[in-house]
Structure 1
Amino acid sequence: MARFTLVALALAGIVHTGSALTLGARSETETLHRRWTPTGSSDNSNKCTPLELIWFRSAAESQARLGLLGDPMYSEILKYEPKASAYNVIFNEATYEETVTNFLGGQDATQWINKRAAQCPNQRYVVGAYSKGTLGVHQMFPAADVRPRVAATVVIGDAMRIRPYFPPAALNSTWPSNGERTLSQPCNFNDLICWPGGTDHDTHLYGGYIGQIPALAKFMIDRYQENKRAVFPNAKGIMTNLNQVLSSKDVPGLLKNVVNVLNV
């Protein structure tokens, strides 16, 4: 019973502040999509960026920010790709049953990445999550033509490493795939949530993982750079636009269209 209680508390998003354990605050008004830009401003959803971080924060962390590990992860990514944007996944914070619509944000993240991929044909993505947020990653179902543009996935303290929390119908067993070069599943030794037989709750708290963020961000960036060197996804569209530019009097308008295709 004690172990079950510790698991429930950890997955509920308890964070460590000094010597005390406190629940992350949440405002009922913080229900809108948040997409952070390099300047920290909110909604800039019409702009295509070269790279976007899609982040699942831990349960009970405020929707207002990316969270205790999400914010530093994004800051590290910006050091390598200053134009990167970030999306804060929305999920149902009232309950965590797998029968609830948009359980832990899988539906929201799926809709978002598919929409963004259509809007920005050359945008790449890195997906990250911490604690119970990692379970939402396993409920993402990116479209087949979008998946190759997900350069990396990092799930920190992922309970799915040892526990089948989802029924088979709810679990996306084909993405992300264990063992892939683009997937990292950091788990501290004896972590109560992700380590087989783990008993230590404190190792699951954000303080146990914050020191790994720079290396994990570098992992994401390295995979992103590799992904960029893949076959250019919209070469045909670019050539079509260039041909139109050469044969049209509306050069400024068509040049603008080419720039949009290139996402520069």
Structure 2
Amino acid sequence: MSRRRLLSAGVLAAALLTPIPAAAQAEPGCTDAQLIMARGTDFDDGLFFAAPDAIPDYKVGEPLYAALQEADPERSWSQYNVAYPADLVGVVGVPMGSKDLVAHLEARAAACPNQLFVLAGYSQGANVVGNSIGMNSSSATVGGPVAVTIPAELEPRVRAVLLFGNPMHAEGKTVPEPYASRSRDYCEPGDPICNGLTAPGTDFDAHTNYYHYMPAAAAFVLAQL
């Protein structure tokens, strides 16, 4: 056999023996979708995103997560509570929250290649979520500057953005593209945090009245997935 044929045979054999790279595999614990929730000011950092003694209407994360599971039982769900102080020093805490949100999303997206994401924020948590998609909340109640945003390559996997009692709503700010068409900004009538402190008919109790929005929010999310 000629040297050229020997070389060709060797190249072919090497090619046949070289393993084909496998597609990215999901790590254990991955789910079809995940709710990433940023809690409001003075809420604890537990699973249910509300103070332990909070009345049901004051909670957002727990009923939202339950509503998503009920509306979409064929899909597996998980949840993540954004780690940040959620205190009255928003100019520090909000950027910390957005950094944690983006870092978690990046890590989870890499570990779970097929997982989709829903972002939700209540009160100060809406500032955290908003900052992560490019909304500067420095002028809003307990807001802060944009520190980091979700990478463009992960944007298609963020299927819905939900804001409740959003302080940026009072500033006239809206969710920017490409997230605008897959977002909902829920502002209860009379809530001074999202309507403004000088709006007529303001009632601070209205800021705790978001429980009844959960079925509609879950239905909206389901339509986006």
Shift, 1:175, TM fit: 6.2
What does residue 221 of structure 1 align with?
A: 222
**Residue correspondence of structure 1 range 73-92 to structure 2 within 5 A:** 73-79=64-70, 80-81=72-73, 82-92=75-85
Instruction: For 2:194 and 2:224, locate their aligned partners in 1 and report how far apart those are by CA, in whole Å.
Output: 24
Quick one: which amino acid aligns to residue 66 of structure 2? S
Measured in 1, the distance between the counterparts of 2:125 and 2:158 equals 18
CA distance in 2, matches of 1:184, 1:70: 15
Q: Provide the secondary structure at the position in 2 that maps to 1:139.
A: helix
Q: Does 1:115 align with 2:97?
A: no
Give the 3-state SS of the residue equivalent to 1:137 in structure 2.
Answer: helix
> Is it true that 1:159 corresponds to 2:160 in the alignment?
no
Per the alignment, do residues 130 and 160 of structure 1 end up closer, same or farther by CA in structure 2, a change over 3 Å counting? same
Deviations 1:1-58 (A, max 9, x none): xxxxxxxxxxxxxxxxxxxxxxxxxxxxxxxxxxxxxxxxxxxx84211100000111
Per-residue deviation at 1:176?
Answer: 4.9
* Bigger-Rg structure (1/2): 2
Q: 1:202 aligns with which of 201, 205, 216?
A: 205
Is 1:55 aligned with 2:37? yes
Does the CA-based 8 Å contact 2:41-2:88 persist in structure 1?
A: no
- In the alignment, structure 1 segments of 5+ residues that lack a partner are 1-44, 165-172, 225-264
C-alpha separation in 1, matches of 2:41 and 2:87? 10
The alpha-carbon deviation at position 106 of structure 1 amounts to 0.6
CA distance in 2, matches of 1:122, 1:74: 20
2: CA distance between counterparts of 1:211 and 1:101?
Answer: 28
1:174-214 per-position Cα deviation (integer Å, ceiling 9, x unaligned): 96549822010011122201115432211111xx2111111
CA gap of 1:174–1:48, structure 2 versus 1, over 3 A, is: farther
* 2:48 aligned to which of 50, 66, 71: 66
Q: Is the 8 A contact 2:38 2:126 kept in 1?
A: yes
SS at match of 2:186: coil
Q: Is the 8 A contact 2:41 2:86 kept in 1?
A: yes
- Give me the identity figure in percent: 29
Residues 158, 187 of structure 1: 8 Å contact kept:
yes
Which of residues 103, 122, 130 in structure 1 aligns to 2:95?
A: 103
* Cα distance in 1 between the residues matched to 2:48 and 2:36: 10
Q: In 2, distance between residues paired with 1:60 and 1:90?
A: 13
Unaligned 5+ runs, structure 2:
1-26, 50-58, 133-148
Match of 1:132 among 111, 124, 135: 124
Shift of 1:97: 3.6
Residue 150 of structure 1 corresponds to 158
Contact 2:82/2:100 (8 A) holds in 1? yes
Counterparts of 1:175 and 1:127, CA distance in 2:
12
Query: What is the alpha-carbon root mean square deviation over aligned residues?
Result: 2.4
Structure 1 174/110 Cα, relative in aligned 2: closer, same or farther at 3 Å? farther
Greater shift after overlay, 101-110 or 132-141?
101-110
Q: Is contact 1:55-1:66 (8 Å) kept?
A: no
CA distance in 2, matches of 1:142, 1:94: 23
- DSSP 3-state at the match of 1:66: coil
- In structure 1, give the amino acid aligned to 2:221: M
Aligned pairs, how many? 169
Aligned-partner Cα distance in 2 for 1:142–1:77: 23
TM-score by length of 2: 0.68
Asked whether the equivalents of residues 56 and 137 of structure 1 are also in contact (C-alpha less than 8 Å), the reply is yes
Shift of 1:160: 0.5
